[in-house]
Amino acid sequence: MADRAVWTKRVSEWRASGLSSTEFCRGRDFTAGGLRNAAHHIERELRERRTRKVRVGHRCSRQ
């Protein structure tokens, strides 16, 4: 099984290609389903990282 860096590169190349996952995977050693699954997990992790960096809060001043 390919590691995360390999899947990240594949997903990036796929997104840049403009092809469907089926078209992109034709003739390669991985499936369209595997590519879409990797994309889902990688993109979800990126969203979660961005969300964790945002701090929501307010200061209230008491007088």
Domain boundaries, the chain: 4-53
**Both tokens assigned to 3:** 């590691």
pLDDT in tens, 4-63: 999 999 999 999 999 999 999 999 999 999 999 999 999 999 888 887 765 666 666 665
Q: How far apart are alpha carbons 41 and 57 in whole angstroms? A: 29
Q: What is the pTM of this model?
A: 0.75
Max Cα separation, the chain? Answer: 70
